[in-house]
Amino acid sequence: MKELTHYINGAHVKGQSGRFADVMNPATGEVQARVPLANSEELAFAVDVAADAQPGWAATNPQRRARVLMKFVALLNRDMDKLAEALSREHGKTFPDAKGDVQRGLEVVEYCIGAPQLLKGEYSDGAGPGIDIYSMRQPLGVSAGITPFNFPAMIPMWMFAPAIACGNAFILKPSERDPSVPVMLAELMEEAGLPKGILQVVNGDKEAVDAILHHPTIQSVGFVGSTPIAEYIYATGCAQGKRVQCFGGAKNHMIIMPDADMDQAADALVGAGYGAAGERCMAISVAVPVGDKTADALIEKLVPRIEKLKVGPYTAGDDVDYGPVVTAAAKANIERLVQTGVDQGAKLVVDGRGFSLQGYENGFFIGPHLFDHVTPDMDIYKTEIFGPVLSTVRAQNYEEALKLAMDHEYGNGTAIFTRDGDAARDFASRVNVGMIGVNVPIPVPLAYHTFGGWKKSVFGDLNQHGPDAFRFYTRTKTVTARWPSGIKDGGEFHFKAMD
């Protein structure tokens, strides 16, 4: 059995706790490796290494730090297929989707190459008699990130690239379900010229998470995962005086207006609802057609598209639409929620129950499901299913559709499909959701804008990537300086008003 390692101080380090987690192959249901689960002592050792290395890195000028990221981008492109294959093997997503995972992380690294510009402070010349005032953005010190299984390349890069560009050291605690790619990324960063100890990977479970939250040297913590854990990490980290940003669950609605192009809307829903087996925090899981005529037309378009979806392992080629979900427990939970939807009265229009793939009967594959006549009181509407399940909630008018998105406890992303510019502008202006798509089903902003939801989808006041990342990973220091023009007659004991 292959035994994975931590990556500490530039070296692969075996686990010392004696505890391990199985790393599965989701396509076959077989255990392919064991990953060590760190205890608090192992985490503390990595923190000590990071604290020793960070001052030298912070003293490296931003342009030189940016050159490391430039080289890292080149290495990511060089090893793209290698990274994607390792990602698909542990996560289960298709090979093109795995390459997209790496690519969307790479784009944030490219943005962070602009660190010399993004870290510039402000200067006020002559703010008073002989007085200048200027501000500096300085690194926090040691930062940490706790990342989810569904994007094992992208989300780590969303965190460590800006943190390191700002001059911090970074400790990454990736998901124990697919931990290989994060270690590969750390190796590539050092090949690009990053000093040892600035980026380290410590695998673990709740014990490692709690060690991060309570370690006094760690100044900031980033997290992406479920809302209950996001709430726990945010509350605990803030109580320890850390800067914390946590991104939680989602239930993303797509409103389809009567004037929408139904073929375009149906294609968008199939891609956004079933891509990556629905294991995306930006997946569309609720379709909201406005009017029964619109709903009937949409269902008619959706059914043949969904029934043609090809489900299979990443090794089956690029024409596979989506692969297995990540674990047997995830599969069982999705199947339980589907049955709950049936029991509570939703109409299961496309029934993926009982799906089995020849030769992969033990894999964690789930057929696509489409519900119609879902109501807001049903569990499949309230819960983030995180699987290939699309629910249709019929709205009788635009205001009812808008209210559905606004009343849900999650506010990550939403979209509207329409030809009416006025409806689109009104929707974007009024809806209380963080990321809006207009005829775009998955409105993930590009790297130079920020990513973040509202309501119970986010805890913290700064988003991921874009300008907010450079605010999150730095502190502002303001200096007021006076250089007298000559010898003064003694000291002044009062604050002189500015002229």
Please work out, in degrees rounded to the nearest 5, the angle formed at the alpha carbon of residue 108 by the alpha carbons of 103 and 109: 90
Query: Phi and psi dihedrals of 289, rounded to 5?
Result: -75, 140
Alpha carbon 79 to its chain centroid, in Å, reads 22
SS3 for 51?
helix
Q: Which of 112, 166, 246, 281 is catalytic?
A: 281
Q: What are the DSSP E strand ranges found in 249-401?
A: 252-256, 284-289, 347-350, 369-372, 389-392
DSSP string, 48-107: HHHHHHHHHHHTS-HHHHHHHHHHHHHHHHHTHHHHHHHHHHHH---HHHHHHHHHHHHH
Q: Which of 196, 194, 211 is nearest to 39 (CA)?
A: 211
Tokens 């075996």 — which residue? 14
Does 238 qualify as catalytic in the annotation? Answer: no
SS3 for 442?
coil
What gap in Å lies between CA 414 and CA 286, rounded to an integer? 9
Cβ atoms of residues 115 and 62 within 8 Å: yes
Alpha carbon 354 to its chain centroid, in Å, reads 31
Dihedral in degrees, nearest 10, Cα atoms 210, 215, 217, 220 = 30
Q: What are the DSSP E strand ranges found in 309-429?
A: 347-350, 369-372, 389-392, 410-411, 413-417
Tell me the pairing of strands 410-411 and 454-455: antiparallel
Dihedral in degrees, nearest 10, Cα atoms 466, 267, 302, 341 = -10
What gap in Å lies between CA 88 and CA 53, rounded to an integer? 33
Cβ atoms of residues 145 and 223 within 8 Å: yes
What gap in Å lies between CA 462 and CA 149, rounded to an integer? 22
Question: What residues are labeled active site?
Answer: 281
